[in-house]
Structure 1
């Protein structure tokens, strides 16, 4: 059996792994690379394999850095089957359509052809089948099973089995405890593990600490009469923040001020969350209990959802203090960049980072302290306070990663660390070797391993 790392090696984004046995070729994820022009130009490079020879794609979850190139795979000849959980498929169509619009505009700016269009997305969705956790799927030489990764609604780890060997792809592992969904599932029996390492070198704040920090940031901003901007990913991060704000509002812990959800995509994806909110396969008991008691967990007084462009523009006319939640989470586009242009120059305001910020992204530059940034071609001075709460990350920290891997220590022959930057991978590699005595590798893009 042969494993090739086409993406996700020494990089958080662009997950793409090829597993081959006999004449069967399986991809796990096929995602966009994100994080500035230098990284994103790779999305226009030719595939290093023939899409028409791929039998199936197993999708761990619907974030664009895991699914964003599947329509291009279809455009270039893929006619196999795409497998995921039901929520992942529901999210994927909305996210791919949004991505196609952004990629199309970027291609036009660069004078390049679109890498795919809406017809390719439609073609992919027609090939897409769903399966719930723990139900086995057979694709020629391979058996596959999804397990709950606890990262976002419907996210999965994928166990692929062939030639008597079990290879486990972690996907992105969740940060426990999450406000809405279940914790990452305990899995045993894998021979080889590809494990994400986005936060392999750090430990997040606790659940109560992150809520207290959110309350503190809101209060300090409002005392100054400022605006709180929260760049947030449309899926999971936005819904978690809404859930926490709902609690703070209901318990009288934050002032009664307008809170704007200024993200059409997040509004659409929140409808998917509502669809599954009573499903014990996906939501945790606390969230289900709150819903059954009549609590509208994604809605509360003073929350305003601004779907239309005119509504978004009108936010500027609402006097401070106020909260604005908008995408994109890395400030690479979306409505948040308009708000940043308006509010970053004012020291009364605050920008709160609750999402991973990829290298070279606008969000990363703001987070790392740049005093002047370019937004939509304009130089913008950064005088607003810059805060971050890592505990809202939907990625497991070092402790969470170790706890997930530990039950497999007796069977695992080799661990491959993926989906992380080297400064996070190296301390995790050292810890796994020292505490679990497991052979742990940090692969390079293009590496081929015989299993």
Structure 2
């Protein structure tokens, strides 16, 4: 068996790992890389292998950095099955179409400027139609149900507790008379977060591929995060400003709604209007309602108690914005409000328009609630860069920039070490750390070695390993 790391290698985006076993080729994830625009387009467009030679894809979850390049894979010749949990499949229906639509819309906007400057137009990476063509290749498997993937290869999904439907992947492979087990963590969640169950406990593997996003730091607790959020909202309200939140449509938006509902019910924050300005987030929230099997007991109880009052996904001052004209109308709001919009790293979508219209307002707050990868607009804002470019135009940053990390759906250093620390030592032969920038991945590698697990690697992009 051989594994080659074609994405999320010493970075946190573009998850894509090629497994070759028994003459067959399968991908763990097929995500979009996010970063500097010219590099991003070229890297996402050109695969380092022929997509037609891939026999199957196993999808850990529906976030775009793990699933967003599937339409390109199909467009360029892939015809195998894409395996996912039922919730991941349902989320992907909306997310992939939305990704295609956003790329078409962003290119249309950019091409208007390019035309004014006498530059030739650019093409979208893929379209909504390409995304639709991808959906027929999806097949689903429930958690903890071993499934034959290919001859000699059985996979099993386990709950990763990261977003709705997220999964760890256990691969049991028979090759040349030898059986080996590879476990891919996907993105690992945290214990005690709202809505979802805690990550499953796995204890046996020969090889582990695991994320390392927060391998060098600890999070605020959920209670501390909620208190921090309340403080930011009250401070901005006193300035009569708006709170603009770039948030992933899947997971982060719903967790924020859960927190805002609780804070409002407890009268901890002013009763501000909350706008979810994302057709995708609106659709995704409906998918959340369809999959209560993924909820923890506390969330099920809360939803039962809130029946008739709207609950965390439908409270009184919550408004879902679908139409473009209604999104544009938010630019003329004069009172304080909370506007939550995708994308979470402020790279595409309606959030760019809200940033463009509010980033120069000293009364407003730009609030980040998730990880911001290198070379993204979100990272530049957190790093204090000003001016920043939005749709190719320079904007001076006068709004307050805030961050609340306690809402992260990724496990922190303590969570990650606890998870891998459960693995039986005599059997575990190698750990590969992905989905983390070099500082966090190397820090986590040192921590894992201190647990007595000697063979830990932080692969470079396109680096391959023979698993013997």
Alignment TM class, shorter chain as reference: over 0.9
The one-character-per-residue Cα deviations of 1:402-428 (angstroms, maximum 9, x if unpaired) are: 111111042311100001100111111
Is the contact made by 1:4 and 1:17 (CA closer than 8 Å) also made in structure 2?
A: yes
How far did 1:106 drift?
5.9
Instruction: Tell me the residue number matched to 2:116.
Output: none
Q: Which runs of 5+ in 2 are unaligned?
A: 112-119
Superposition map of 1:15-34 within 5 A: 15-34=15-34
Are 1:10 and 1:419, in contact at CA under 8 Å, matched by a contact in 2? yes
| TM-score normalized by the length of structure 1 | 0.95
Cα pair distance change 1:182/1:17, threshold 3 Å? same
Distance 2:49 2:347 in 1: 29
Mapping of 1:23-172 within 5 angstroms? Answer: 23-104=23-104, 109=111, 111=121, 113-138=123-148, 139-163=150-174, 164-172=179-187
- C-alpha spacing 1:236/1:226, structure 2 compared with 1 (3 Å): same
TM score, norm. by length of structure 2: 0.92
2:54, 2:80 within 8 Å by CA — same for their partners in 1? yes
Superposition deviation, residue 236 in structure 1: 0.5
Provide, for residues 41-68 of structure 1, a one-character-per-residue CA deviation record: whole Å limited to 9, x for no partner. 2434432222222221000001111111
Determine whether 1:285 maps to 2:297.
yes
For structure 1, the residue ranges without an aligned partner over 5 or more in a row are none
How far off its partner does 1:333 sit? 2.1
SS at match of 1:91: helix
Is contact 1:33–1:42 with CA below 8 Å preserved after alignment?
no
Change (3 A) 1:44 1:431: closer
Give the SS at the match of 1:176. coil
Whether the 8 Å contact between 1:409 and 1:436 is mirrored in structure 2 is no
TM-aligned CA distance change 1:120 to 1:379, over 3 Å: closer
**Aligned-partner SS, 1:260:** strand
Tell me which moved more, 336-345 or 164-173.
Answer: 336-345
SS in 2 for 1:261: strand
Q: Is contact 1:16–1:28 with CA below 8 Å preserved after alignment?
A: yes
Whole-Å separation in 2 of the counterparts to 1:274 and 1:321: 29
Number of matched residues?
A: 448
2:393 maps to 378
The alpha-carbon deviation at position 35 of structure 1 amounts to 2.1
- Which runs of 4 or more aligned residues in structure 1 lie more than 6 Å from their structure 2 counterparts after TM superposition? none
Please list, as runs of the form range in 1=range in 2, the aligned pairs for 1:11-410 lying within 5 A after superposition: 11-104=11-104, 109=111, 111=121, 113-138=123-148, 139-163=150-174, 164-277=179-292, 279=293, 282-295=294-307, 296-410=311-425
**Cα distance in 2 for residues equivalent to 1:419 and 1:337:** 25
Out of 416, 420, 426, the residue aligned to residue 436 of structure 2 is 420
Mean CA deviation greater in 294-303 or 263-272: 294-303
Q: In the superposition, relative to structure 1, how do residues 257 and 343 fare at CA in structure 2: closer, same or farther (>3 Å)? A: same
The answer to whether the 8 Å contact 1:137/1:144 transfers is yes
Distance in 2 (CA, whole Å) between partners of 1:14 and 1:127 is 20
User: For residues 325 and 120 of structure 1, what CA distance do their matches in structure 2 show?
Assistant: 27
Aligned residue in 1 for 2:459: 443
Name the SS for the 1:408 alignment partner.
coil
Look up the SS of the partner of 1:20 in the other structure.
strand
Name the SS of the counterpart of 1:99 in structure 2: helix
The CA RMSD measured in Å over matched residues stands at 1.7
